[in-house]
Amino acid sequence: MPRLALLVSLLCAVCGGARAADPGSVRFVVYFQEWSAALDGSAQDVINRAAQAIKSHPRSPATVTGFADPTGSKEANRLLSELRAQRVIDQLQADGVPHARLSRHGRGSVKFALTSQESRRVEVEVGSR
C-alpha cells in the first residue's frame, strides 16, 4: 500500500509539472459598452493579467478574438469586432507582449444568452484549443 501511495504522489507531481509548462488553455474576457471599443479600468486590469499569462508561457500561442452584439449591420459589427480585438492587442503590446506572439480575429455579431453585454467582448486565449 505505501508503494501505491508513492506511485500516486509521483504521478500527481509529474502531471502537475506538465500543467505548469503547458497551461492547456486560459481565457481572459474583456467587455465593452455598446458601440464602443474604449478600454475602461476593468478592461485594463483583465488585459494586464492576460499579458502576464502570455509572457509567463512563452511557448503557448495567444489568440485575440473580438465579438459584437447583433444590433446593427453585419459589416459594422464585423469592423467593430476587429477594432475591439486590435485595441486589446495594442494594450497587450504596451504591456510588453511581442506582436509576433499574437493573432487577431474578428467574429462580428454573435447571439447572447442573457444580456447583449455577453456579445460585446474580446477573448484572449493563451494556449492550445
For the chain, the domains span 25-127
State residue 48's pLDDT score.
98
State residue 115's pLDDT score.
87
Q: Which residues of 93-117 are buried (b: 16+ CB within 10 A; e: fewer)?
A: eebebeeebbeeebbbbeeeeeeee
Alpha carbon distance 10, 37 (integer Å): 48
State residue 111's pLDDT score.
87
Identity of residue 92:
L
End-to-end CA distance of the chain: 38
The values of phi and psi at residue 29, to 5°, are -120, 125
State residue 128's pLDDT score.
64
Give pLDDT < 50 ranges for the chain: 1-23
Global confidence as pTM = 0.79
With a CB cutoff of 8 Å and minimum separation 6, the contacts of 61 are: 101, 103, 126, 127, 128
Q: Does domain 25-127 have CATH number 3.30.1330.60?
A: yes
Alpha carbon distance 101, 56 (integer Å): 12
